[in-house]
Amino acid sequence: MIEMTPGASDVLLVIDVQNDFCTGGNLAVPGGEEVVPLINQLGQKFDNVVITQDWHPQGHSSFASSHEGLEPFTEITMSYGAQTLWPDHCIQASNGAELHERLDLPHAAMIVRKGYRKEIDSYSAFFENDHKTPTGLTGYLRERGFERVYCVGLALDFCVRFSAVDAANLGFKSVVLEEACRAIDMMGSLDAARKDMADSGVMAG
């Protein structure tokens, strides 16, 4: 168990702990559901919790099925840059998009849904993949006076990474609690994520 005593200016950011990212899901992260008990325990320590939820429409542009002849995990170039093509996942109102049934954070004050624009993916809790279109989370955290963001969830090398780096770049103290994360780890993505986070000033908790 991670030992800490969060303060009033700390927030726990729980990223994409959804059925499709857990065992049996369409884009399962190895051991994804293993983070749930630890996140529940962490949640009891934090007065302030925000949850993110991937929320894609049918036929989203990041789905391999939207690109004839291309397989999942192919990387292509979109108008906003490099984009990995994924299996269909976290489709709005589907069971796969639901938060894991054992996630127990009743005091979470906000759920940020991302990736709902058909033409652009969204890894970060703060911006879509053009790194310009905001989700609104930044304003919420600043208006509430939060200063430090603790990131947990799925997947460490994608949505957790981009969220933690953006938090640091936006001037928040950014911490990733790796024990409460799991990674996809494809083609060196985990090592790249750790380097990117360290270079951006993200702290490991």
pLDDT digits 0-9 by tens, 75-84: 999 999 999 9
pLDDT at residue 1, rounded to an integer:
56
Domain-located, residue 83: no
Domain-located, residue 131: yes
Give the type of residue at 144.
R
Domain-located, residue 89: no
Supply the DSSP symbol for 94.
Answer: S
CB 78 within 8 A of CB 120: yes
CB 192 within 8 A of CB 165: no
What's the order of all strands across the beta sheet hosting 203-204? 110-114, 49-54, 10-15, 148-154, 173-182, 203-204
How much is the mean pLDDT over the chain? 96
CATH of residue 139's domain is: 3.40.50.850
Domain-located, residue 205: no
pLDDT at residue 21, rounded to an integer:
98
Looking at 16, 54, 121, 166, which residue is catalytic?
16
Element (H, E) at 167: helix 161-169
Average pLDDT over residues 198-203: 97
Whole-structure pTM value: 0.96
Sequence-separated (6 or more) residues with CB below 8 Å from residue 141:
11, 50, 149, 172
Domain-located, residue 165: yes
Considering its fold, how many domains does the chain have in total?
Answer: 1
Looking at 90, 151, 159, 181, which residue is catalytic?
159
pLDDT at residue 136, rounded to an integer:
97
Domain-located, residue 77: no
Average pLDDT over residues 100-129: 97
Average pLDDT over residues 157-163: 97
Sequence-separated (6 or more) residues with CB below 8 Å from residue 44:
none
Domain-located, residue 86: no
Angle, nearest 10°, between helix axes 161-169 and 189-199?
10
For residue range 123-140, what is the model confidence (pLDDT) as tens digits? 999 999 999 999 999 999
Average pLDDT over residues 92-100: 98
Domain that includes residue 37, residue range: 10-56+98-200
Instruction: Indicate if 114 belongs to the active site.
Output: yes
Instruction: Indicate if 16 belongs to the active site.
Output: yes
Choose among 136, 116, 127: nearest CA to 55: 116
Domain-located, residue 78: no
- Local confidence band at 205 (pLDDT 50, 70, 90 cut-offs): confident
CB 160 within 8 A of CB 152: yes
Sequence-separated (6 or more) residues with CB below 8 Å from residue 54:
16, 18, 20, 21, 89, 90, 97, 113, 114, 115, 122, 159
Looking at 10, 20, 90, 114, which residue is catalytic?
114
Average pLDDT over residues 2-6: 82
pLDDT at residue 141, rounded to an integer:
98
Q: To 10 degrees, the CA torsion angle through 153, 158, 163, 166?
A: 160
Instruction: Indicate if 130 belongs to the active site.
Output: no
Give the type of residue at 94.
S
For residue range 38-74, what is the model confidence (pLDDT) as tens digits? 999 999 999 999 999 999 999 999 999 999 999 999 9
Average pLDDT over residues 108-122: 97
- Local confidence band at 187 (pLDDT 50, 70, 90 cut-offs): confident
pLDDT at residue 173, rounded to an integer:
98
pLDDT at residue 4, rounded to an integer:
84
